[in-house]
Chain A
């Protein structure tokens, strides 16, 4: 019971080989495109790596890059094979290679699919990584004199301006952190002393945000200090103001940016995967059709091509049995090496 049997006349075989040659070139370009997309995604993730706690999300672009490179090689061989396929004298050269080659190629195509699934599945990991990274960034915003942290302020400011966001979850994160360094606080002033005394940890906490939270679309000059105090500013209502500062949190902004990027890349890689699978299916049909011709006198006879010789279940069973015998053989070899020769009797 053969899987998906198709009859191939000589002309059909020729056309199949030609179509396969063309498809293999298209798939090669697709592989190069996958590699480029992987490099692009990695660069974008690297740009904001200072606000990410771990690099787990880099598994997605790394996988894409590896798959892209290997598919270039796979498709190059597919092209060479189909060039030789119609020539009965050259085709037997490839006979031994084709089975393992197809197995490897199908495996790589599945890895491509896995990469796409990963890009959606790792959203939670990305979000957690950003949560920790942004929290640290906001905490060390004031430490511009501590080596290793002196560029956090610039990073966070530029991030907030570029992504039009403020704080981790929202702007209120800045109220819970001392973001003004003690170097710039006048400890002789009563206001500062009161503020610090009223706080348990002795931090100077105010209801203000840095200038990078300011929204340029606001009709009035930016109000960044004493945000919750309506009486501190003329004609100002804290609840009603929407355009003064950015209301979105940076974590949400970054996650939506990267998810959008990975969605577009995922759609592209999916179409490349479909092209790759069509290359492999055509190659399998060509291989089986040409194997039936081998050894025959009439090269131009009609032959049958199929995907699998037996049904899926039977092939899987066969494959499993083969693997088991291989393993058992290995076991017996190792065991017989320690046994006495009287086991032969």
Chain B
């Protein structure tokens, strides 16, 4: 009772082999697409690595690159096998390899599925990583004289300009950190000294933001200092101003950007997974039909192809038994080829009912 049995004539088998050969090459191309998507994501993450606090986010692009390479290799081999399957003599070369190949590819498709799942699941990790990374970057914004942190100002400024965002959650984040270095503060001035004294940690906090938070779409020149003070600027209402500074926080902006990329990549990986599965099904049918042809002896005859020879339950039981008996050593009583006298005699006349061999 085979699973999904299909009968194949010789021409149908040949057509199947040719089609699978082409599809395997298409799969090699999709494997290369997967590889390039992995590289693209890796480069995109590396560009902003100063703003991400942990390295675990690299696991997704690395997985995609590995899966892409393996897919290329597997489908290249599959193409060669299918090309040879048209000719029964060449098929004999691959006969022993085909079943392990199909099993390996089947498990590989699970890897593809895992890759797609990781693309969607990475969002949470990315959010945490960005939150901490941005916080640190903003804290070290003023440290342009310390080696290792001297480029963070430029990175944050360019990020805010390019992604049209300000601060971590919003522009108010800049009010809670000192982003103007002490090197540029005139300590002799009363106002500066007052501010430093009024703060517990002795930090110079103002309600000002860097210039990169300014929105070019605003009708008036940018107000970046004394943002919350309505009387400091003519005709200015802090609550009503929407266009002066970027309203979105950079964490949200970056998260949206990366989520969008990863969702597209995840969808592509799912489509590639479906395609691989269909190619694998075709290869399985080809393998079983070719084996049946060899068993029948006539290369031009019709043969059956199936997914599984017996039902699911029987196949599972059979494989389970194999695994169970792997550990046991060879026992003579179990060997059906050896003929020996069993201790219990079936009849009174001491004749063992042996099967009589008939001439065929």
Contact = CB atoms under 8 A, between A and B. Distances in A.
A328 interface: no
A221 B210 contact: yes
B328 interface: no
Interface stretch (B94-102, B178-186, B304-312, B330-338): B178-186
Interface stretch (A101-109, A211-219, A309-317): A211-219
Contacts of B157: 216
B291 to A, nearest CB: 47
A329 interface: no
A210 B221 contact: yes
B211 A158 contact: no
10 contacts: A144-B219, A150-B219, A154-B216, A184-B234, A210-B221, A211-B221, A211-B224, A219-B145, A222-B210, A234-B185
A161 B161 contact: yes
A217 to B, nearest CB: 5
- B145, B219, B221, B224 — which one has the most chain A CB atoms within 10 A of its CB? B221
Nearest to B210: A221
Contact of A211 (B145, B185, B214, B234): B214
Given A211-B211, A222-B210, A183 B184 contact: no
Decide if the interface of chain A is mainly helix, strand, loop or mixed.
loop
A224 B214 CA distance: 13
- A145, A212, A233 — which one has the most chain B CB atoms within 10 A of its CB? A212
Nearest to A141: B221
A224 B211 contact: yes
Interface residues of B, number: 29
A220 interface: yes
Interface in A178-236: 179-181, 183-186, 189, 210-212, 214, 216-222, 224, 233-235
Contact of A214 (B211, B219, B220, B221): B211
Interface in A120-179: 144-145, 150, 153-154, 157-158, 161, 179
A216 B216 contact: no
- A153, A221, A224, A235 — which one has the most chain B CB atoms within 10 A of its CB? A221
B322 to A, nearest CB: 59
B139 to A, nearest CB: 15
Given A154-B217, A179-B221, A221-B184, A216 B161 contact: yes
Contacts of A157: 216
Contacts of A180: 221
Given A186-B234, A211-B224, 8 more contacts: A158-B216, A184-B220, A210-B221, A211-B221, A216-B154, A219-B150, A219-B153, A235-B184
Q: Shortest 6 CB-CB distances between A and B: which pairs?
A: A157-B216, A216-B157, A186-B234, A144-B219, A219-B144, A234-B186
A232 to B, nearest CB: 11
A46 to B, nearest CB: 20
Contacts of B181: 220
B147 to A, nearest CB: 13
Contacts of B279: none
B220 A211 contact: no
B211 A222 contact: yes
Contacts of A184: 220-221, 233-235
Contact of A144 (B158, B184, B214, B220): B220
A161 B185 CA distance: 27
Nearest to B212: A216
B29 interface: no
Nearest to A188: B234
B216 A234 contact: no
B69 to A, nearest CB: 32
B158 A216 contact: yes
A56 to B, nearest CB: 29
Interface string B283-320: 00000000000000000000000000000000000000
A235 B182 CA distance: 11
B48 to A, nearest CB: 15
A14 to B, nearest CB: 35
Nearest to B186: A234
A217 B154 contact: yes
Nearest to A216: B157
Nearest to A143: B219
B158 to A, nearest CB: 6
Contacts of B219: 144-145, 150, 153
B222 interface: yes
A183 to B, nearest CB: 7
Contacts of B145: 219
A179 B210 CA distance: 21
B47 to A, nearest CB: 16
Nearest to B216: A157
Nearest to A150: B219
Contacts of A181: 220
